Amino acid sequence: MAKREMAERLVEAVIADFPDHKPGTRPAHTIGIGVTGHFRATKVACDYCVAEHFQGQKVDVTVRFSNSLGSPVKHDGWSDARGMATRFHLGGDKATDLIAMTLREFFSPTPEDFLELSKHARMRPVKAASIWSKIWDLLHLKPPLPDPYEGQTVSGLAGSLNYANHHRSAQLAAFDASYLGAPVSYARASYNAVHTFIVTAPDNTRRYVRFSWQPVAGVEAIKPSLSPEDDYLQPELRDRLEAWPAEFLLLMAVGETGDPLDDPTKAWPLHRARIVMGVLTLVKVPDDQDTYCEKLAFNPGRLTRGIEISNDPVLAARIGAYEVSRQLRGGSACPFSKE
Amino acid sequence: MSNGSAWLNRLVNSLADSKFFNFLAGRVLVPFWAWRTPVYPQHGGPHAAIQPGDNMQRMMNLVLPLKDKTAVGRAKAALAIASNLDEIYAGLDNVGTVHFARFVIINNNMCMISSYDGDFSNYIRDFVAQLGTVFDSVVALIEDGDAMIPTKENIDAFINWVHDRDVYQIPDVATDLLRYGTIRHPTSKPGMVDDLQLLPRALILQLNANPNALLGSGYRGYPGITVAQIRHKMGMGW
């Protein structure tokens, strides 16, 4: 299948997953908030990567935090993945993006598999399991599926779980997703770039790496026993940044021979060497959210000299899909460029 | 949902955390499922690996039940360590692959906890070469330990003995637990389909078969670095 056709099919598949998707908005991660701040690399970062933003100078950034669903309705308190897309504004009109989420791994090893998964994970009417079914599950030492949230009428959970039962590549993400919960703040979650990238050092050493953001304030999720609130993440972030900046460490795990370099469904061991590449400081929620958030279009393939994509087929497909999505909704690649 | 059925639904939702269900699970359900879908004790210690990063800072957590489960027995174990401190420190320095090691008495078990670089068998072999006398005096206080003494003359049997007493390490990748047991989807052909919802039961049955467990491979403050590299980089003269 041609790259463009695959990209279009991926976007269509994601849009089809959300019956209430609103044209002109993002197919997924529709609800979000833009934030500005700066990034400063650590002293060691330039030993590992020649990219401009790792040389130690202050680099302006725009970050968009998001909920993963493609619905235009806010459900901040629902257990789900959150996104953190970061744009590093380099010299001139240049920029590079880093797109991350709270899951440590992706559901599919190939775009074809993702198309199949999205059919199964499509939103379907949902209701609480019967009490007899729950008791039957408990007698099997099997936690019953959670009741739908109040007001929730559709869900893709059962379908995606069924798909994961038949496809081992989807199991880890499906299992981790079931325990994600909702963060108390966008600034209190870890975000993983999931895909492998290749960074080049000043001595031309090329390393396979995976990036992640760790919140300096620590990770904290809402207690699952509390009733979920629909709209707290954006007000919380505004209040937080008015009082004090929020910081994240950029960590870079270095892969070894034998690590799954091209498969985003497989997390690397937690004990891989990891380098602190820099500190991100978020200071402000701009008033102009249309420019700094809604119209802004990120892309995992927007890289700069010193960082390359790996042979991960999902990463390659996402690069095309993000561009198709941008064109569909009339997004701009960069608020400071004419792209 | 009517008020009555909503109340019943809430009751069932809270059942899993109730004392009644915990009693039922512990006394009836776990033994039943352990019988119906047997899970066998796993080997202790880290899983075999060929990648360098997986062979650095490996965790050993030996749990050795004391023969004498009184304060006197515990004091004898403490004395076996305290009276051999020079030998222990010199031995650990000479082995050269140990990040840290400590002896802990917990619930009448002598626990030897360490983090080391390299292969487990070679680690124990080096240890016995350096600390054989200390091992002998400790092992003499442990259940089923007498047959291992002198450890220097029973080295291969002793390595297996230690391995069996190193606690089982639960995999970092949670879904790997599905591969260890017989947990499959009940409606599928055997061996074809997993059931993610049964993963918690897989964990329960593993912990039933392996009551002591290391939860994952553990945190490392300086991952991917050996003792030798740290000593060299920090100019410590080894």
> Which residues does chain A have within 8 Å of residue B12's beta carbon, measured at their own beta carbons?
131, 134-135
Residue B185 has a pLDDT of 44
> Which residues does chain A have within 8 Å of residue B56's beta carbon, measured at their own beta carbons?
271
pLDDT band at A291 (very low <50, low <70, confident <90, very high): confident
Cα separation of A113 and A103, whole Å?
18
Q: Is residue B182 predicted with pLDDT exceeding 50?
A: no
Contacting A residues, span 253-282, partner chain B, CB-CB under 8 Å: 254, 256-259, 267, 269-274
pTM of the model: 0.91
Q: Is residue A92 predicted with pLDDT exceeding 80?
A: yes
Q: Is residue B106 predicted with pLDDT exceeding 90?
A: yes
- A147 — contact with chain B (CB < 8 Å)? yes
Residue A21 has a pLDDT of 86
- Integer-rounded Cα Rg, in Å, for chain B is 22
**Could you write out the DSSP letters of every residue in B176-205?**
GHHHHS----TTSPTTT---GGGHHHHHHH
Give the tens place of pLDDT for each residue, B57-72.
Answer: 999 999 999 999 999 9
Between A33 and B4, the higher pLDDT residue: A33
Q: Is residue A255 predicted with pLDDT exceeding 80?
A: yes
> Is the Cβ pair A175, B197 closer than 8 Å?
no
Give the tens place of pLDDT for each residue, B7-19.
Answer: 888 889 899 889 9
Q: What is the mean pLDDT of chain B?
A: 88
Look at residue A165 and give its three-state secondary structure: helix
Cα separation of A122 and A107, whole Å?
14
Q: What is the mean pLDDT of residues A17-27?
A: 87
> Is the Cβ pair B197, A145 closer than 8 Å?
yes
Q: Which two structure tokens, joined as six digits, stand for A199?
A: 């960074």
Q: Is residue A264 predicted with pLDDT exceeding 70?
A: yes
The nearest CA of chain B is from the CA of A316 a distance in Å of 26
Q: What is the mean pLDDT of residues B43-49?
A: 81
CA torsion, ordered A135, A136, A141, A146, to nearest 10 deg: -60
| DSSP H or E segment with residue A100 | strand A95-101
pLDDT band at A112 (very low <50, low <70, confident <90, very high): very high
> Which of B21, B199, B220 has its CB closest to that of A175?
B199
